[in-house]
Structure 1
């Protein structure tokens, strides 16, 4: 029998990576003053847009 945590986790798995972590879908993106600038700079350098910026 699956726990509530397992059910919620399974419902949010986007991709299973063999011998790696599972990729989860998270509906809110939180900005942190210490780590976010580097993350956004990395996206900018790679030409990647923020997914659903209205939820950031």
Structure 2
């Protein structure tokens, strides 16, 4: 980002707070210098055999 603002810092801090409270999640920093943000999720649509709810 060429002109980061206070709101960007607040967003980054919210992400860190979320990760702090969710074991098994993390942040990966790579050496290539790219500072992009990627997010992944692992949801199983209707994965519960009993009630067909998402898991």
Structure ranking higher in strand proportion: 1
Superposition TM-score, scaled by structure 2 size = 0.33
**Higher-Rg member (1/2):** 2
Relative contact order, CA 8 A, sep 6+: which one is greater? 1
Structure ranking higher in helix proportion: 1
Superposition TM-score, scaled by structure 1 size = 0.32
